[in-house]
Amino acid sequence: MASQDQLELEAKRTAHVEQLSDWLLQNSSIYNIFLSGIKQTSVVAGTVVSRLTLTSTHLNSKGGLHGAVSAAFIDFTTGLAIASWDLREKTGASVDMHISYLSSAAGAGDVVEIVATAEKVGGSMAFVTILIQKVEVVDGEEKKTLVTKGHHTKFVRGTAKPKTDGEVRN
């Protein structure tokens, strides 16, 4: 059973990530267009899981999730994962992004789950992996189909908040 301190830290972490998500949506036109309606379903240290229902705005000419939209999903959610690592407010600048488009199975009306995991957040660089999966309910159980996989490296030097005496973040 989690201690009261652990529960408070997880509540603080979730509120921090949700606040950052809201701020990014309000202050970036591209995020607002592509990510309006995104909801975080899980926030733990280093990992944020989000869900979004796709609309025609998200699709390419063949009716599948557009690659550029996938890149925007990755850019947005990796920042949230980095913020969840240690509650930093700034999440750095993109250095490198690799995206593998594995399936065109996701289309309008489909729910996608985006799992962003900060594998390492160091003093200068952060390394985050991403899975974008289509979520379907089949016979009462969730079935997930991997649509996109990505890796994102961000320069994060100077983005961490200084720790106060006795503060524990992870």
The C-alpha angle with vertex 7 and arms to 5 and 8, in degrees rounded to 5, equals 65
Instruction: Decide: helix, strand or coil at residue 41.
Output: strand
CA-CA distances (angstroms) from residue 34 to 66, 88, 106, 141, 160? 11, 24, 15, 28, 27
Q: For the purposes of burial, counting CB atoms within 10 Å of the CB of 145, is it exposed (0-12), middle (13-18) or buried (19 or more)?
A: middle
* Measured distance CA(87)–CA(81) in Å, rounded: 10
Rounded to whole angstroms, the Cα distance separating 84 from 138 reads: 32
pTM above 0.85, yes or no: yes
Domains and CATH numbers, the chain: 4-155 (3.10.129.10)
For 38-110, where are the alpha helices, taking DSSP H only? 67-86
User: How many angstroms separate the first and last alpha carbons of the chain?
Assistant: 17
Q: In what order do the strands lie in the sheet with 47-53?
A: 39-44, 47-53, 111-121, 125-138, 141-155, 93-101
pLDDT in tens, the chain (170 residues): 668 888 898 899 999 999 999 999 999 999 999 999 999 999 999 999 999 999 999 999 999 999 999 999 999 999 999 999 999 989 999 999 999 999 878 999 999 999 999 999 999 999 999 999 999 999 999 999 999 999 999 999 988 876 655 555 55
